Structure 1
C-alpha cells in the first residue's frame, strides 16, 4: 500500500501524484472498528469488481485535536497503526489529508471539486452519517449532487452488533471501564498500543519481576488503570506478558503520570530503545495500594499466573 500525504491546496497540484480512476472510502476512521471496516471493505470490493484502484482518504491530525472541541482524549488507532490495518485489508493507496484551520474552512463544494474530483474519484464510499465541509454542512445527498455525473456515491448502513451501532465513542467508554472483551468485539481485534522501552525506576528487577517501561509512540486513548494480560509483538516474536497501567500507589503518593510497565513471561534480556506493540487482551484487576512489598510481590505472582492462563 502506498501512503500519500496531501496538503490542501499545494500538493494537489504536484506532478508526483499519479492519478488514476479510483474508488475512494472517505472518513476519519479513528477507531478502525467493525463499522469503519464495513465502509472500507465495500470500497475494496467495488474497486476489484470495476478494475479500479482501491483508496482511502483520512484526515490527520484528528479534527477534534486541531479545533480543540469535544471530548478528544487521544487516538484509538493512530496513523501508523491505521496504515498497517488498511494494508492488510487490501487498500492500494491511503491519502492522508493534513487537517488544519485552513482546511476546516473548506465548503462542501470546494471539498468535492478541488479535492475529490481532481483525484479521479469515480465512486465515493461513505458511512451513513458522513459529513463534510465547513461545520459539517455537507451530507451524503449533497455529495451525490456535487458529484453529478462524474462521481457516484455508495452509502454503507450502520454496522450493528447485538442490535447496537458500533461507534468510536462507545469503544472509548468500554476502554475507560476496562471492558476489554467488549472493546475487542467492537474493534474486531484487541486494543493495542506501541511504545519504546525506556529506563524506569528499575524497581521491578529488585523484587523479581523486571518490567519494560513504555514511552508511547502516539497519543493513545488510555484505558482504565489496572493490570492487564497482554500479548507483546517484538520484532518477529510473539510474547506473553502482564502489564500494569497506573501510578504505582504502593510506592508513590499522588501526582505521578500513569506509566505502562510490561513484565514478559517468556523473555529474558534487555529491551531498552526497542519498540514493542502491546495488545491488551484481558483486564485482570484494578490498581491498588498494598500494605507491604511482600503483599505486592505475592499479588504480582498471582497476576502473572492469571495472565499465563488467560493467554494460553
Structure 2
C-alpha cells in the first residue's frame, strides 16, 4: 500500500489511471468502515482498478468546532496499518486546515475527487464534504456532473443501533470492552512505550509495564481489566490497571500499568501494545499495601481464570 500525504488543492498525478475512491474519516476502521471498504474493493475488482481510500490527518471537528479535546480510537499509524491489512492500494491523507474547511462542495468534487481520478466514489449515507445542508450524499450527483459513478453505502447496525465511531468511543470510555469488540470487529488496542514508573508493583511482587501512550487516544474508564500485552512481537495474557494510584499517593494523573503474566524482562523504553478484553473491577483505595497485594492476587486469579475459559475471539 502506498501512503500519500496531500494538501488542498490536489495537483499531483497520484496514479497513472483511474481508481475506485472510498471516502470517510475511518476512525477505528470499525465494522461499518470494513463493510464500506469491502464494497469499494468489490467495485475495484469489477472495474479492474486500484482501490484508493481518502481520509484526513485530523478529525474535522478539531477545526470546525475548535474541539481540541477530541479523542481518537486509532492513531494515524494504527489506522494506516489497518488499511494495509484490508488490501487498500493507495491511502490518501489530506491535511485538514482552516482554509480547506471553508471550501464548497463543488470545490471538493472538482479539486479533490476529480483530481484523484475517481471512476467510482464509495461513501457512507451520511458522508459530508462541506456545509452539510448541501455538501452531502443526496447532492453529490449534481456536483459530479456525470464525471464519476457513486455508490452510497447504507447505515450499518448492531443490535438495532448504528455502528459508529462515536458509539465506540463511548463504549471504550465506559469500560464496555466487549461492546467495543462487537462494534470494531477486533479488540481495542493502545500502543506506546514503557515508561519509568514508581516501581511500587515490583515491591509488591506484581511488576508492571507503565504505558506511555499518544495523546488524544480513548482511555478506558478507571479500573482493572483483563488484557493482553504485546512485547517483542508476542502477546501475553495480562491484567492492566487504569487509575490514579490512590493507595500510593494523591497525584491526579492517570496511569496505565500492565502486569504481564509469565514474563520477567526489563522492557523500559521498548514499544508495547495493550489489547483490552474485559473490565473486572473499579479502582479502590486500600488501607495499606498488604490489602492492595491481596486484591492483586485475587485479580490475577480471576483474570487467569477468564482467559482459561475464554479463548480469544
TM-score normalised over the length of structure 1: 0.94
- The number of aligned residues is 308
Q: Which residues of 2 match residues 1-312 of structure 1 at below 5 A? A: 1-9=1-9, 12-14=10-12, 17-69=14-66, 72-134=69-131, 137-253=134-250, 255-312=251-308
Q: Distance in 1 between matches of 2:231 and 2:117?
A: 40
CA distance, structure 1, for counterparts of residue 181 and residue 101 of structure 2: 32
Maintained 8 Å contact 1:6/1:96: yes
Q: Distance in 2 between matches of 1:190 and 1:171?
A: 11
Q: Is the 8 A contact 2:63 2:101 kept in 1?
A: no
Is residue 62–residue 68 contact of structure 2 (8 Å, CA) maintained in 1?
Answer: no
1:150-202 Cα shifts (integer Å, max 9, x gaps): 11110111111112111222222222221111111011111111111111111
How far does residue 19 in structure 1 lie from its aligned partner after superposition? 3.9
**SS of alignment partner, residue 197 of structure 2:** coil
Unmatched segments (≥5 aa) in structure 2:
309-313
Whole-Å separation in 2 of the counterparts to 1:180 and 1:111? 37
* Superposition deviation, residue 141 in structure 1: 2.3
Q: 1:69 Cα deviation (Å)?
A: 4.5
- Alignment check: 8 A CA contact 2:18 2:118 kept: yes
Alpha carbons of 1:156 and 1:22: their partners in 2 closer, same or farther (altered >3 Å)?
same
Q: Distance in 1 between matches of 2:16 and 2:71?
A: 33
Q: Contact 1:22–1:53 at 8 Å: present in 2 too?
A: yes
* Contact 1:78 1:218 (C-alpha < 8 Å) held by counterparts: no
Q: Distance in 1 between matches of 2:232 and 2:161?
A: 37
Query: Structure 1 residues 256 and 92, CA, compared in 2 at 3 Å: closer, same or farther?
Result: same
**Per-residue deviation, 1:233:** 1.9
- SS of the residue aligned with 2:230? strand
Equivalent-residue separation in structure 1 for 2:106 and 2:69 (angstroms) = 28
Give me the whole-angstrom Cα distance separating, in 2, the residues matched to 1:137 and 1:222: 35
Once the two structures are TM-superposed, the CA of residue 129 in structure 1 deviates from its matched residue by 0.8
What's the RMSD between the two structures over aligned residues? 1.6
Q: How far off is 1:218 after superposition? A: 4.4
Instruction: Quote the offset at 1:68 in angstroms.
Output: 4.1
Give TM-score, length-normalised by structure 2. Answer: 0.94
Structure 1 unaligned regions, length at least 5: none
In structure 1, what is the Cα distance between the partners aligned to 2:304 and 2:215? 28
